[in-house]
Structure 1
Amino acid sequence: MTRDFEQFPDNDNGDILWQMQEDGSDLTEPHEVEYSIAFEKQDQAEKCAIYLLLEEQKISMYLDEETDPNFWILSVHINMELDYADINDLEEWFTKIAHQFGGEYDGWGCMTYVYDDEDEDLE
């Protein structure tokens, strides 16, 4: 299949989405996407968490002991189809919110599941 650069632009998000599609992930099916914001201080993360809860977002928060024990990570979990424009819009929103509360937007990720017809036959 030839890459459609309008649907999958030549940048990090476009590359990730293109690779996911090439690997067999159905981007039109909802995925739980996790957007992360990093904070140096717990109180900054907590204030941002309250703001996001008031915006009706599903969140989790933890101290990043594995990578850097000085950072608090606030994750926002959104069930959505994997659409390039929607991901970029949310990244812009989370970047703005991160700066508003003294944090830094740290990217997104999600699990992918590839099912083939043979898996269904085994059940």
Structure 2
Amino acid sequence: MQFPDDDNGKMLAAMAEAGIDLTKALDVDFFLVFDDQRDAGTALEELANSDLEGEVELNLNDELGKWEIIVCINMVPEYDDLVEQETILNDFAAEFGGMTDGWGVMQHQDGDDEFMDDDDHVHDEHCHH
């Protein structure tokens, strides 16, 4: 598969190289970052009340020192659709003083299922999921 020579294309190429089937719908996480918690909270409310088909959550990204909304959308990761979704979300975030900060896909790894029903499992640096 050929992909454009930009960040999105490189990410798709890396996913294909890792053996991820890019013809199937995946949960794609888009990251929106905000300096101000109130702006992020207002944006989150707006997303939750919109017709967006996906899940949203708000976290403080300690690494960036910014508030981050993760928008998880189940979609086939096609280049044009990813760029379009990222543009829509960037325009949306800008209304609240934020911006997009890329996207990603959680890759299933062997052993992921063993903790699915284990509420006592504590995630640490040794986790692979």
Normalising by the smaller structure, the TM-score range is 0.7 to 0.9
Structure 1 residue 56, shift from structure 2 partner: 3.7
1:30–1:79 contact (8 Å) kept in structure 2: yes
The two structures, once aligned, show a CA RMSD in angstroms of 1.7
- Does 1:43 find its partner at 2:38? yes
Paired residue secondary structure (2:24): coil
Instruction: Report the equivalent of 2:58.
Output: 61
Unaligned runs of 5+ in 1: 116-123
Structure 1 residue 95, shift from structure 2 partner: 0.8
Instruction: Report the equivalent of 1:12.
Output: 7
Q: 1:20 to 1:68 in 2, by over 3 A?
A: closer
User: Higher helix proportion, which one?
Assistant: 1
Q: 1:114 to 1:63 in 2, by over 3 A?
A: closer
- Structure 2 distance, partners of 1:89, 1:68, is 25
- Structure 2 distance, partners of 1:30, 1:113, is 14
Structure 1 residues 1-123: aligned runs within 5 Å:
3-4=1-2, 8-57=3-52, 58-65=55-62, 67-69=63-65, 71-113=66-108
- Structure 2 distance, partners of 1:93, 1:113, is 28
1:34–1:109 contact (8 Å) kept in structure 2: yes
Which moves more between the two structures, 77-86 or 19-28? Answer: 19-28
> Once the two structures are aligned, what percentage of the paired residues are identical?
33
Q: Greater relative contact order (Cα 8 A, min sep 6): structure 1 or 2? A: 1
- Structure 2 distance, partners of 1:44, 1:15, is 31
Q: Aligned residue pairs: how many?
A: 108
Structure 1 residue 23, shift from structure 2 partner: 2.2
